[in-house]
Chains A and B, each alone.
Chain A
Amino acid sequence: MQDAFHLLAAVLLPYAGALIACLLPARARTIAWLAGGTALLTLLMVLLGYADITAGQIPRVALPWAPELGLSFTLRMDGFAATFALMASGIGFLVVLYSRYYMSPDDPIPRFFAFLLAFMGSMMGLVLSANLIQLVFFWELTSLFSFLLIGYWQNLAAARDGARMALTVTAGGGLALFAGVLVLGHIVGSYELDDVLAAGHVIRAHPLYLPALILILLGALTKSAQFPFHFWLPHAMSAPTPVSAYLHSATLVKAGIFLMARLWPVLAGTDAWFWILCPAGLITLVVGAYVAIFQHDMKALLAYSTISHLGLITLLLSLNSDLAMVAAVFHTINHATFKASLFMAAGIIDHETSTRDIRRLSGLNQSMPFTARLALVAAAAMAGVPLLNGFISKEMFFTEALTAATTPTLLHSILPVAAALASILAVTYSLRFIHGAFFGPETDDLPKTPHEPPQFMRVPVEILVFACMVVGILPSATVGPVLDLAARSILGEATPDYSLAVWHGFNLPLVMSLIALAGGVVLYRLLYRHLNAGIDGTPLLERLDGRRAFDQVMVFISWRFARALERLVATDRLQMQLRLLVCIAFLAATLALLPHGLAPGGVELTRPDPVVALLWVVGGACAIAAAYQAKYHRLAALVMLGGAGLATCLTFVWFSAPDLALTQLLVEIVTTVLMLLGLRWMPKRMESASSGHILARLRRGRDLVIAAAAGLGLAAISYATMTRVSPDGISRQFLERAYTEGGGTNVVNVILVDFRGFDTMGEITVLGIVALTVYALLRRFRPAAESVGMPEQQQGEARDWLLVPAVTMRLLFPVIIAVSLYLLLRGHDQPGGGFVAGLMLAIGVLLQYMAGGTRWVEDRLRVLPLRWMGFGLLLAAGTGAAAVAFGKPFLTSYFAYADLGPLGRLPLASAVIFDLGVFALVFGATVLMLIALAHQSVRRPRPAPPPLVTARPEPAVAGEN
């Protein structure tokens, strides 16, 4: 069948409206029109889908998302989803209309409508999702947007706290749901709802059924505010009333119900289902109704009543009976209509009198008679008075409770009693809501003089109350077809016969209803004095404070537990972290090697050369000496480091790597100079007595063992690798193609500038970034106070000591430039290249700085390193881009040899131009770093402010050396 794009529109329209609402200039009226129009259009789309369903189809639309992972964005609407979509979009439209009059122009209206619409879109996505993961995604979106809506008045602490609590509980439940859905998908092998719904037997028989059930129900029960997760809902009442009317009647809290009913065919029918859900629903039903009676805030009363009704629906779902399932869906619809209208009525009262306290309100029947009648009818529906919709679903509930009581367990057998008790309590709180606010003597002790609201503010309430009455009087003609479609799409062929008639004869459920009505009136009479005394809190249940428990849990998890865990396993000491890192790396390598061992391979060994052996005796000694001296004798350590570097460099020479040796040598020089420039700013350090302390010795001993182990491991791995034949890799390709396809005889250079040119491109970019970072860091450099003075070497006659070297260095400058250019030009064929040439030229400049001093050089020679760097990078990138202009991939090179007659042949590979870019950048970057460091001695630095941390005087810092 065709893709049902109206479903896609039903989900996307609200989001689009939300986006536009944020972007429009803040004109309250326009935005309300926009929001209303969007909601109406969404409703229209849902109705289109509903028309498809009545025509016997199941409209669906699928957009591939990550098909190889079994993920696609699929929407599907059956009768059950249509019921929820109708409620979400229909009541959503009414709420938008109502908000237009409720919201004060001083509030940020665009934000309100944007959040409301986005929430509506998430709700539509949730109910229409045909994929479980997608469902969870929208589920979390509803949590997120409800958080934003509840916290809409962000200047109120109560709103912020309520929003945070709602988010923590519902989104936390959402995570559990996600886990549960993953388990479910694992059991079924698919996340598509159709596949899951067809696999009920497999799921219920699977060993993972119970974990999946618990996780999914955790999500549903938190969302639907079931005991013991009910406490967030009353605190969410700090939201604007239209939000409460929307979230707590038709949408957010019903999402949990939706999920349980949606998965009812595959998850229900087991004892586990009953024993988890029934106690939760039962306690919520009774306790919620009981607590509601003692609320003085009209919205709080409605909030607890909502909790109680959700408990009722959960209880119906838990009974594993098809008829109860139908009753649950029916009551969901009924509750949405009367609860939305009651919230709106409470909002009207709040809007017109500026208070919602039942103790202060009285006699509003006189000043707002129309609203009073509407509220009266809605409250009667809530109490289950005959000829209203609440009565019919409550009758069904009684019937189901009585049927269930035939099962011989204690929990089953108390169900009728509990149902009757809860109904008595419901009548009592409904009476309190109406009698407290509208009847009694008229009072003038109100913040505002009450009068009827604007006409259109009442229209949504009128529509909803009208629905309550029509459904109550003519159930099968009105809600009958919708309910039938919804029930059939869940139960399929097993849909039982049920009767939606008002009159079923004089039977036990009717008696229970009458008892409930009479008992509720009597109870209200009995409690009247207590309620009017204005005492806060619920008798017998003062200790039941979900909020305090929640706060304690939060403090424990996010503070005490986190701190304890941090103390136990974490450290902010870098030394310890590095030590751990080394140890873990060592362990990981050991573990990886355990199954194979580290025996040397069978390759014939190369004959050892005494020169290399001697070289590494010196090199190794240098390395150990550097390690030994680095703390107290930095200069010595630096020299030793250079020794080890030279040994490395000579090794490269020895084993046929002239390019490496050249680069290593020059890098060595530049690094040493950089460090020498930096040493001047380090604190002086003398050996002190504390280093001989026993603990310090122990620590060093441990580190020595770790280091020795690491060194031995490295040596063993190296030896084992070197004595094995390496597989024939891609090296042969490089050797064979370097000249024929790269046009150069120096294979290493051809690899760098041609075969792996992109790599080099990235590398010089990194070098450029590092140079800029160094430059930026040093511009703000503030040395420590004790390093500001001129070092003794620079005082007095020191400058003259360098006279002879200075002259030599100056004379060498042109020679170095020539050598550098030579290295650059021959790089493609002989050892050399851009890196080496750039470093060489930088060293030439560096020597001038050393010989003449910064000021002397800069009076005569201005190197503009930033321009060099920019030029180099542009040239390198431009060479690559030029290949694109010729229709070749980025950085493809071209080469030819120009015959210059007696002067020989000049290689003209485009890679040489690339190398020129490398040269310019390396030169620029190196000089930039050197100059930035060198300038620190020239400018008159301001010392850093005293350190932020209160440093004790370090024992190791001593006076002049």
Chain B
Amino acid sequence: MELILALAIGILGGSGVWLLMRPRTFQLIIGLSLLSYAVNLFIFSMGRFPVGAAPILEAGGKGDPAHFADPLPQSLVLTAIVIGFATTALFLVVMLAARGLTGGDHVDGRPPR
């Protein structure tokens, strides 16, 4: 399982990095999204891979860490997803504004030399 997830992170991250180095703004936005998947999965994987152990307690008691998935990476990733959404939206609009103002969609705001 570890290997599968590690490869998944690698593929997502590699594709993201590849797109990060492309010249068009839309490629960048896709690349950043892929990269954020990779990073989120990486943080998430710190909680290991418990199956059927969602951190939902029985009412009225203390939770035993042996029986539940680690809630900390989950809440961190949840925060990361929301912030990632915000930055993606912002980048999208900046991309549109740049497209309108420069006439093109090159990251430098002008066609390549």
Contact = CB atoms under 8 A, between A and B. Distances in A.
B90 A773 contact: yes
Interface residues of A, number: 124
A759 interface: yes
Contacts, number: 351
B99 to A, nearest CB: 6
A722 B8 CA distance: 13
**Among A616, A714, A778, which residue has the most Cβ atoms of chain B within 10 A?**
A714
A634 interface: yes
B41 to A, nearest CB: 6
Given A605-B2, A612-B4, 14 more contacts: A582-B21, A623-B11, A624-B11, A627-B31, A630-B31, A631-B26, A641-B33, A655-B44, A657-B54, A712-B14, A715-B7, A735-B64, A766-B86, A831-B56
A952 B111 contact: yes
Contact of B10 (A667, A711, A726, A932): A711
Interface string B90-113: 101111110111111101111100
A859 to B, nearest CB: 26
B8 A616 contact: yes
Given A631-B22, A715-B6, A736-B62, A648 B103 contact: no
6 residue pairs, one from A and one from B, having the closest CB atoms:
A711-B14, A715-B10, A707-B18, A735-B63, A719-B6, A947-B103
A613 interface: yes
B78 A722 contact: no
Given A706-B21, A735-B71, A667 B50 contact: no
Contact of A716 (B6, B21, B46, B68): B6
Contacts of A623: 11-12, 15-16, 34, 37
Interface in B69-91: 69-72, 74-75, 77-79, 81-90
23 contacts: A579-B21, A605-B3, A606-B1, A606-B49, A612-B1, A626-B30, A631-B22, A652-B44, A656-B68, A657-B47, A658-B54, A663-B82, A710-B14, A722-B2, A729-B72, A735-B55, A735-B57, A737-B62, A759-B79, A763-B82, A835-B82, A925-B86, A933-B93
Contact of B5 (A718, A760, A783, A922): A718
Contacts of B38: 714
A835 B79 CA distance: 10
Nearest to A751: B75
Contacts of A559: none
Contact of A718 (B29, B42, B49, B85): B42
A932 to B, nearest CB: 8
Nearest to A625: B15
Contacts of B22: 575, 630-631, 703
Contacts of A954: 104, 111
B20 to A, nearest CB: 6
Contacts of A732: 65
A609 interface: yes
Contact of A747 (B16, B34, B55, B90): B55
B51 A578 contact: no
A657 B59 contact: no
Interface stretch (A25-33, A320-328, A371-379, A678-686): A678-686
B17 A582 contact: yes
A610 B60 CA distance: 37
Contacts of B94: 777
B78 A718 contact: no
Contact of A760 (B61, B72, B79, B81): B79
B79 A715 contact: no
Nearest to B1: A606
B112 to A, nearest CB: 8
A862 interface: no
A682 B98 CA distance: 10
Nearest to B39: A714
Interface string A899-938: 0000000000000000000000010010001001100000
Contacts of A740: 61-62
Contact of A745 (B30, B46, B59, B82): B59
Contacts of B104: 683, 947, 951, 954
B85 A774 contact: no
B78 A663 contact: yes
A676 to B, nearest CB: 11
Contacts of B29: 675
A730 B72 CA distance: 8
A414 interface: no
A774 B37 contact: no
